[in-house]
Structure 1
Amino acid sequence: MKFRPLLALLLAIATTCACAQSAADLGAGQKNRKASVWPLVPNTTEAEAAQLSARFLTRFHYDTQPLDDAMSGRIFKAYLKMLDGEKVFFTQADMATFAPLETKLDDAIWNQDLSAPFTIFNLYLHRAVDRMTYARDLLAKGFDFNADESYTFDRKDATWAKDKAELDDLWRKRTMNDWLRLKLAGKADDEIRKTLTKRYTGYIERVKQLDSEDAFQTFMTAYAETTDPHTDYLGPRAAENFDIAMKLSLEGIGAVLQARDDYTQIRELVPGAPAIKSGKIHVGDRIVGIGQGAEGPVTDVIGWRLDDVVNQIRGKKDTTVRLEILPADTGLDGKHVFVTLVRKKVSIEEQAAKKKIVEIKDGDVTRKIGVIELPTFYSDFGARSEGDKNFKSATRDVAKLLGELKAAGVQGVVMDLRNNGGGSLAEANAMTGLFIDTGPVVQVRDAKGHAEAQGDDDPGMAWSGPLAVLVNRGTASASEIFAAAIQDYGRGLIIGEPTFGKGTVQNLVDLDRFSRSESDKPQYGELKMTIAEFFRINGGSTQLKGVTPDIAFPKNGDEKDFGESTYDNALEWTHIPPAPYQPIADMKAYLPKLEQMHDARVVKSPAWQLMLDELAQYKIMRGKKAISLNLATREAERKQQDAIQASFRARHKAIDGTTNLLDEEDDVSSRLDDGLNPNERSLKSELKQEKEAKEAKDVQLDESAHVLFDAVGLIQADPKLAAEVLPYGGKFSLNTVASTSLPVSASSAPVH
């Protein structure tokens, strides 16, 4: 979504985080943010960072816009949307109070006086605590569910409540719905009251942990994203997490943490990392204390924000951290265990490229199709700039996997880029080069209107056989560059849904480089700023339109709420002259036949038809904006949903022998809405469902592999067709399709 509500930040405090942090963020000065001092007050560093960011955005952004009263009005609107996008905290009276500030936010930045945005944030804090306290107080009496009332939960287009009485009624209905969800899941009133009291109290505590850094980050995000959807301000902590996500490595102990109640819990252990190698730390364990060094004092971290706990555990390689652990298999009064660990560099392989082989059998013919799943176009920018030849690289990893797939005898390759939100532009260029010989990949136009082609200069291909790129609405940016280039060259088939439509280029500006402070500790953060727009080599753009698949799969209905076209400040689509390139094959030569074979197959496929029915049901549920608060009505609706889901489970079991959900012995009600928030369920249940989701049949991927199965068959049957659809006039011979070895000219060339 365009604007991230502050509620997302509050939830993030209680969700998952990998353990790594710069040593500059550690030390005795780290405070327990369970007790922030209100009202929050901006500091000098934040005011300087805001002004410095404005200087860059108003001078060097691709679409420079003055920071004036008009921009202030847009920031004001975005800021309020981030704080109260559902309009459940502020009233019209609050809006009247804020009105004089609407044209003052530009002055706040230029004059280094952030009191205006902090005034709004401080009132938000009080309103949030007040609303949750009100909801908690309602629980004592319970509710009457016999009236004919409804609760409108989709309030993004609603107006603010006219007064406190109207807001109270809204929160009464909101709390009633929370209670009713648990009641429908079979919970008794006492258990419901206990669960919701704990939930609302926890929310209040998380609000109270918000500090000036959170207020500043929220305001600066509103400003940055007002310039365009993909410009962002990253505070020091956010900047480091972005860096970790790009290089897929960190320095820490190799544990994934999450907050549960007042405890920080071990959610996952990274293979080969210090935590799992110690043999003393296990999934489900709770961290109750942390000490720095071999003999430093152990600090109690019960009740701390998750990111503060993470900051204490992360640190420089080869330094020591001591953890006080409450084991998972003991109660809250169990015996504590002390574990000493030496921090090491930890690779985050979960987000790295992965391969698998799908065997497709059709009649008497079986073919192997290789699949490479790429979650992001990652690159260790720091190691690369320092000249490290072994820097972490998505292209290098994919090249290695392609070699392994060739050795295994695959006859086609599917690049799975679903939900790949992009990453490094350089990696997108280099990765395209794995599938073409040489040539331009993308055109980049800067703010002055100068366009330059970038691409692959190294001859040779890592894979020159049949290729498909699987995409969906979450495929964005660098992923779209890759898919568009493959399509423009005629190098492979694009399969799936239309992509996101992000056609802009961002660059990271380290604001600390312009600091006058002598401190080594990051202070100003970074600016992820749009500096250019990229265009396809055919002259078109992926901006707004995305990449249109050659073989289209059904849309999931999210396109109205998700994608570049949903942003009201997105750049318009345009085009420039094409780059000098020549298509290297022609997918149209067999695309009609492949589409015909696809259509004939899926109409008879029980798995595909089940997917269509589940998508249709999903769209129905997404289309709802309100829900009844009448018990009898909701029980009837739940009974209907249970019947629908039971039918889906039976069909899944008939297709692949599984329910695709929970085990048969699990409580039937748990297969529907259980009324719980994610961090209220047991960790065991969460991990089990995640495992089942990963192991579930992937109908779209299987069909994509089957399309390549058909392509190989058509190529093998028709040498003339092979010369048209294989790169460079069919140098990749029919025998090679069967053996999947590279031509001599390509195998002797370096892989880049």
Structure 2
Amino acid sequence: MKKNIFILFFLGIISFASCSFTDKKFEQSADKEKLLMEIIQYMISRGHYDRQSLDDTYSKRVFKGYLQYLDPQKRYFIQSDIDEFKKSETQLDDDLKKMDISFFNLTYKRLQQRIEEANKLSVELLKGSYEFSKNESINLDYEKNPYPKNQEALREHWRKLIKYSILSNLIIKQKEEQTKKEKDSKYIVKKEEELKKEAIEATAKAFEEMFMSYKDLTENDWFGIYLNSYVEATDPHSSYMAPDIKERFDRDMSGKFEGIGAVLQKKSDGIRISDIIMGGPVWKGKLLEVGDLILKVGEPNKIPVDVIGMRLENAVKLIKGKKGTEVQLTVKRVDGTIQVVSIIRDIVEIEETFAKSAIIKSKDNKYGIINLPTFYVNFKDVRERNSASDMALEIAKLKKENVDGLIVDLRNNGGGSLAKVVEIAGLFIKDGPVVQVRDANGNVQILRDTDRGLQWDKPLIILINELSASASEILAAAMQDYGRAIILGSKQSYGKGTVQELIDLNREVRNSSLGDLGAIKLTRQKFYRINGGSTQLKGVNSDIVIPDRYQYIKVGERELENPMPWDEIGQASYNHWTDNKKFPQAIENSKKRIQSNKLFKLVDENARWVQKQREENTYSLNYATYKKQVEESEAMTKKFKEITEYKSPLEFSSFPSEEQKAKENEDVKLRRDRWHESLQKDIYVEEAVSVLNDLLK
């Protein structure tokens, strides 16, 4: 189920359509909405890997997905709304063919009406009195809960939601007071009524900001969600990207943008600085700090624009701009003073996007670890910084430090560029196939590493988890099939074996004057391992399975709506890596260590508890009962504290050049130290090092 409408699109494997999708050109239309529906119909029925039959079955999938986007937590619509909408459940395929948006108009207007009613209802209910002695509960299992029968049932649901929020905030505030008292015996704890008042205010603020975020969404935003439901009904990774989402996608894939280098968040009294990006203009000049509020945005010789209450996307567009240009921000500082701050915009690189490495010392051995968050690339200019060139650079730096083995961390790496994963695989093999790709007509293409150069020929460990997907799975699968690396991590990776093509819709229309039409991310191919098997649904199985905190929770492609099936094709011709005679013994040694390790047993116990907590969706609204639930959870959290407090005997360090940067800048040092600290607590990295030790014996 869609959790909410603000979820970012999963990266997956992407190839970029730099030219038109087909020879067909769509004619200019006066109606942008109908033109987009015409293009989407053509794309999914003729261009998708699994060409869609636009029939009633497809229509039902669109209907189900769209409703989940509109009201994922069943807070707004009542059953009579759903009954009315259901009349169109099998008509949406026909609407797409006729380019009819009447169903969208109906649902959009009704949703706006229901959201406004809920907003007024929440304000009214927050004025009521709340006591927590009554034995009642709330069930937050939104997928299984039915829609409220009528307005009275909806009102009761909102009453319980608000009561639950106040109760949660009250318990949190009591804990805060208790902590303050423990730290300072002279501290006077606030009275119960005062804490209850603060809990109600916190709840009111949270709901106010939630409704504010809905008001930020325009009719065009909701229409984009409607169109996306048509595309997403084909498979989980095809999607329609409205212009704003496409811009965000480009930024995430390239890891850079032009602006001031600050993460912004909309608040009722302005645009808040929620984070500052290292290396950006704000960071370099120490011009702003987290908590500052932007009130107005201007440029030299222009009247500044008031951004209080403005849609966040619109405010961001005013603040961003070309490198070298000036923006003048009227800012309310954390201390309450108001200043005008001038900032020269620049290219900002999001360091968390890029590959980074560290040196590991383990007794007499020295290893390297490279963390690769995504397979990033700038589709607009492939000569720009990318994941393959950065990986080669990090390996070269580690080789200069004479490391004896390498760990590549692909945990939580959701994928990225297909071309770059082939290049990266080529760093570890002399030459040969990396992945097989099949199109809708059954044609199979083998993507190869053709450069006989070998960047790294020593022992290699690859770390994966349940969220290692697409490009991560291609790299892990290829290294496993060659016998080139040992795969260590969760039982299996995500299980996404499809390739998406990013299609710029503006290229598909002849002489369009309708403005930016956005893009479609469309599944065009499936990829297969060089041994012929697919990673679709099944993922990559680790050679060494390590207990994981989330191993009992349903995660992966197989849990999504409309996933494509698993299949296999013929094997490619390739030569196995021969310098792996010690792999079986090292794997066997690791399994024995894991089985006898008390910490890993505790991780497994923690995973079972996490599963139990996730399945528990009913919460008491009685103060004593709810507090007992919270205390039991806290007691279990303390039991598992040993996992987070553990520190391995390994030593982590940066390259000399980076050490110098850390000495010169406190922020660089802080981020580096935080990463090294997390590595030292990482029992998976420690086990990977133990495996490398065995391989070197």
**TM-score of Structure 1 vs Structure 2, range by shorter chain:** 0.7 to 0.9
**Amino acid across the alignment from 2:122:** A
**Amino acid across the alignment from 2:694:** D
Instruction: Using the TM superposition, name which of 484-493 and 592-601 deviates more.
Output: 592-601
Q: CA deviation at 1:369?
A: 1.9
Is 1:240 aligned with 2:238? no
**Amino acid across the alignment from 1:368:** K
Matches of 2:592 and 2:453 in 1, distance apart? 37
Is 1:463 aligned with 2:461? no
SS of alignment partner, residue 186 of structure 1? helix
Summarize the Cα distance change of 1:538–1:313 in structure 2 as closer, same or farther, 3 Å threshold. same
Contact 2:493 2:539 in 1 (8 A): yes
Q: Among 105, 109, 115, which residue is 1:122 paired with?
A: 109
Partner of residue 285, structure 1: 292
Q: Among 516, 530, 551, which residue is 2:523 paired with?
A: 530
Summarize the Cα distance change of 1:251–1:84 in structure 2 as closer, same or farther, 3 Å threshold. same
Contact 2:240 2:519 in 1 (8 A): yes
SS of alignment partner, residue 516 of structure 2? coil
Summarize the Cα distance change of 1:43–1:325 in structure 2 as closer, same or farther, 3 Å threshold. farther
Q: CA deviation at 1:692?
A: 6.7
Partner of residue 81, structure 2: 94
Summarize the Cα distance change of 1:286–1:186 in structure 2 as closer, same or farther, 3 Å threshold. closer
Contact 2:251 2:257 in 1 (8 A): yes
Partner of residue 642, structure 1: 634
Superposed, 1:270-419 pairs within 5 Å as 270-292=277-299, 294-328=300-334, 330-331=335-336, 334=337, 336-361=338-363, 366-384=364-382, 388=383, 391-419=384-412
Matches of 1:690 and 1:181 in 2, distance apart? 35
Is 1:585 aligned with 2:570? no
Q: Among 429, 436, 445, which residue is 2:438 paired with?
A: 445
Partner of residue 681, structure 1: none
Partner of residue 206, structure 1: 213
Q: CA deviation at 1:430?
A: 0.5
Is 1:83 aligned with 2:70? yes
**Amino acid across the alignment from 2:4:** P
Partner of residue 503, structure 2: 509
Q: CA deviation at 1:43?
A: 9.0
Superposed, 1:172-251 pairs within 5 Å as 172-187=159-174, 188-251=195-258
**Amino acid across the alignment from 2:101:** L
Summarize the Cα distance change of 1:269–1:227 in structure 2 as closer, same or farther, 3 Å threshold. same
Partner of residue 678, structure 1: none
Matches of 1:263 and 1:630 in 2, distance apart? 37
Q: CA deviation at 1:194?
A: 1.2
Summarize the Cα distance change of 1:340–1:568 in structure 2 as closer, same or farther, 3 Å threshold. closer
**Amino acid across the alignment from 2:604:** L
Partner of residue 28, structure 1: none
Summarize the Cα distance change of 1:419–1:569 in structure 2 as closer, same or farther, 3 Å threshold. same
Q: CA deviation at 1:488?
A: 0.4
Is 1:562 aligned with 2:549? no
Q: Deviations over 1:580-599 (max 9, x none)?
A: 11212375x43443234224
Q: Deviations over 1:498-528 (max 9, x none)?
A: 1010000000111001234454x85210000
Superposed, 1:630-669 pairs within 5 Å as 630-649=622-641, 653=645
Summarize the Cα distance change of 1:693–1:432 in structure 2 as closer, same or farther, 3 Å threshold. closer
Summarize the Cα distance change of 1:279–1:167 in structure 2 as closer, same or farther, 3 Å threshold. closer
Matches of 1:693 and 1:152 in 2, distance apart? 39
**Amino acid across the alignment from 1:611:** V
Summarize the Cα distance change of 1:217–1:163 in structure 2 as closer, same or farther, 3 Å threshold. same
Instruction: Using the TM superposition, name which of 532-541 and 593-602 deviates more.
Output: 593-602
Partner of residue 549, structure 1: 542
Query: How does the TM-score come out when normalised to structure 1?
Result: 0.80
Matches of 1:651 and 1:581 in 2, distance apart? 42
SS of alignment partner, residue 527 of structure 2? strand
Matches of 2:249 and 2:647 in 1, distance apart? 41
Instruction: Using the TM superposition, name which of 138-147 and 576-585 deviates more.
Output: 138-147
Q: CA deviation at 1:654?
A: 7.0
Q: CA deviation at 1:314?
A: 1.6
Summarize the Cα distance change of 1:338–1:438 in structure 2 as closer, same or farther, 3 Å threshold. same
Matches of 1:653 and 1:277 in 2, distance apart? 34
Instruction: Using the TM superposition, name which of 61-70 and 525-534 deviates more.
Output: 61-70
Summarize the Cα distance change of 1:522–1:711 in structure 2 as closer, same or farther, 3 Å threshold. farther
Instruction: Using the TM superposition, name which of 171-180 and 543-552 deviates more.
Output: 171-180
**Amino acid across the alignment from 2:110:** L
Summarize the Cα distance change of 1:647–1:539 in structure 2 as closer, same or farther, 3 Å threshold. closer
Summarize the Cα distance change of 1:691–1:310 in structure 2 as closer, same or farther, 3 Å threshold. farther
Summarize the Cα distance change of 1:101–1:424 in structure 2 as closer, same or farther, 3 Å threshold. same
Matches of 1:251 and 1:379 in 2, distance apart? 16
Q: CA deviation at 1:639?
A: 2.3
Partner of residue 131, structure 2: 144
Q: CA deviation at 1:424?
A: 0.4
Matches of 2:561 and 2:212 in 1, distance apart? 35
Partner of residue 156, structure 1: 143
Summarize the Cα distance change of 1:299–1:517 in structure 2 as closer, same or farther, 3 Å threshold. farther
Partner of residue 738, structure 1: none
Q: CA deviation at 1:533?
A: 0.5
**Amino acid across the alignment from 2:366:** K
Q: Among 429, 432, 443, which residue is 2:425 paired with?
A: 432
Contact 1:140 1:193 in 2 (8 A): no
Summarize the Cα distance change of 1:326–1:517 in structure 2 as closer, same or farther, 3 Å threshold. farther
Q: Deviations over 1:691-749 (max 9, x none)?
A: 97984412212222222222222xxxxxxxxxxxxxxxxxxxxxxxxxxxxxxxxxxxx
**Amino acid across the alignment from 1:378:** Y
SS of alignment partner, residue 204 of structure 1? helix
Query: How does the TM-score come out when normalised to structure 2?
Result: 0.86
**Amino acid across the alignment from 2:2:** F
Structure 2: stretches of 5+ with no match in the other structure: 9-28, 175-194, 650-669
Partner of residue 70, structure 1: 57
Alignment RMSD = 2.5
Summarize the Cα distance change of 1:654–1:472 in structure 2 as closer, same or farther, 3 Å threshold. closer
Runs of 4+ in 1 over 4 A off after TM superposition: 603-607, 650-657, 688-694
